Structure 1
Amino acid sequence: MKLISWNVNGLRACIRKGFLSFFEEAGADLFAVQEIKLQEGQVDLDLQGYRQYWNYAEKKGYSGTAVFTKVEPLRVFRNGVGNERQQSEGRILTLEFASFFLVNVYTPNSQRDLARLHERLQWEDAFYAYLQELENEKPVIVCGDMNVAHEEIDLRNAKSNRGNSGFTTEERAKMTRLQSEWLIDSYRYYYPDQEGAYTWWSYMKTVRERNIGWRIDYFLVSDKLKSAMNDVSIYSDVLGSDHCPIGLTMAFEA
């Protein structure tokens, strides 16, 4: 089974920049996207063989998630984490399959001035509890833009970014907690010492060309599924967004 996750930073814009070519080439069984920035009826995707599940933000041109899947899920959940405003932002889309839950997430940003750091940490606690609840039923695979570089190896300029949004001690500690309990950072499982492996780059001129980036997009896999992991990928050469797609292959069907 092949899974792809991609923060597209506006699906309609990404489609104009080659999204469908990558989608077809990837041939994923499950394809999760974040930050779709659209409402129902604003895009008509003809994805042969895929069922489409959407969680739109109420605010136009903002946030939102979607999953395109070859396998029909048993259940679909669109809310359940965060305060009322966060729940209206379409940040989580959970699909239940026979052997696992897929949780597609677009984690709130604590903002450049950390104005929403406290709110972000409250989200993290609610998200942690939500995942625990699911894990008690069956194993979980979490994918998406989690808006945090976990360790210094996960961003180019760790020293100068320490304490900044996405690399605060508090945000990193929440990711550590997730991984210390039952979830595995699939990329670091295979490539623990790989430097320069990033999934997001600023739009500032030449930043991506010079690979001055952050790894903030993840596949976190339940420890119960560790033996079924085959490999992971970062498609850093795929353009169309300020993020690149990431991939995970598992040795079972959904």
Structure 2
Amino acid sequence: MKAYFPDHDYVYVSSREPARKGYAGTMALYKRDIKVVASFPEIGAPDTMDSEGRMITLEHDKFFFNLVYTPNAGDGLKRLKERQEWDVQYTKYLKSLDEVKPVISCGDYNVAHEEIDLANPDSNHMSAGFTDEERAGFTNLLSAGFVDTFRHVHGDIPNVYSWWAQRIKTSKINNSGWRIDYFLVSDRIKDKVTRSDMLDSGARQDHTPIALEIEL
């Protein structure tokens, strides 16, 4: 890592017992001249979710930066109930940060919030990532004082996605994607956002990088 990013430090966390080792993880990379304090929050999530390496929070003098990999509801929605509880606990956690200083949060939230956020909404209302329950959980998160920066900047621009299924070889070619990766910010700093975009990853499927520029 240091060979590729000699001017950066990084922190990471990965899943550990009682979760399956290597199942999930997150990493944050930041310039060495930026002074932050890293934490790896446990939020009282159900099942083994708190042990799955799903969150890093970096505290800066002016803001919190939260990196999250939200649990998927799973095949057959077998983990939907646990996912709903995660959404409740995560919202409480992010709101507690926001009460101290503004929050920037980034990650795979594993939900397409509105019908405009995926290519084929009509056939996916019972699919993980687009159930009424998951969408309501994300609505509640935003209602707690946060803003989806992509929609804030771009409004209802259609056909812009961050993920295309690897199992379907033509998903990227046909742009049959989902927007499930987000930058959120505290409502009070939304007007400081100058850019929020998906980056072009070419023919590669799965997730594409996303970018935020903000003047703090």
Q: Determine helix, strand or coil for the equivalent of 2:90.
A: helix
Q: Identity over the aligned pairs, expressed in percent?
A: 40
The total of aligned residue pairs comes to 210
Deviation of 1:186 after TM superposition, in Å, equals: 0.3
Contact 1:198-1:236 at 8 Å conserved across structures: no
How far, CA to CA, are the matches of 2:47 and 2:61 in structure 1?
A: 30
Superposed, which structure 2 residues align to 1:44-123 within 5 Å?
46-58=4-16, 59-70=20-31, 71-81=33-43, 82-83=45-46, 85-123=48-86
Q: Determine helix, strand or coil for the equivalent of 1:65.
A: strand
Over residues 120-178 of structure 1, what are the superposed CA-to-partner deviations in whole Å (9 max), with x where a residue is unaligned?
Answer: 01111110110111111101111000000000000000000012110011110111111
Superposed, which structure 2 residues align to 1:196-211 within 5 Å?
196-203=159-166, 204-211=168-175
Please tell me the residue identity of whatever aligns with 1:156.
A
Contact 2:108-2:181 at 8 Å conserved across structures: yes
How far, CA to CA, are the matches of 1:129 and 1:53 in structure 2?
A: 24
Match of 2:136 in 1: 173
Deviates more, 1:78-87 or 1:208-217: 78-87
Q: From the superposition, tell whether residues 98 and 131 of structure 1 become closer, same or farther in structure 2 (CA, over 3 Å).
A: same
Contiguous gaps of at least 5 residues in structure 1: 1-42
Structure ranking higher on relative contact order (CA contacts 8 Å, 6+ apart) = 1
Aligned-residue CA RMSD (Å): 1.6
Contact 1:101-1:141 at 8 Å conserved across structures: yes
User: Which of 94, 99, 119 is the aligned partner of 1:136?
Assistant: 99
Deviation of 1:80 after TM superposition, in Å, equals: 1.7
> TM-score by structure 2 length?
0.92
Please tell me the residue identity of whatever aligns with 1:55.
V
Please tell me the residue identity of whatever aligns with 1:128.
T
Match of 2:206 in 1: 242
Over residues 175-229 of structure 1, what are the superposed CA-to-partner deviations in whole Å (9 max), with x where a residue is unaligned?
Answer: 1111123101000011122111100001111111110000000001111211211
Please tell me the residue identity of whatever aligns with 1:117.
L
Deviation of 1:67 after TM superposition, in Å, equals: 0.3
Contiguous gaps of at least 5 residues in structure 2: none
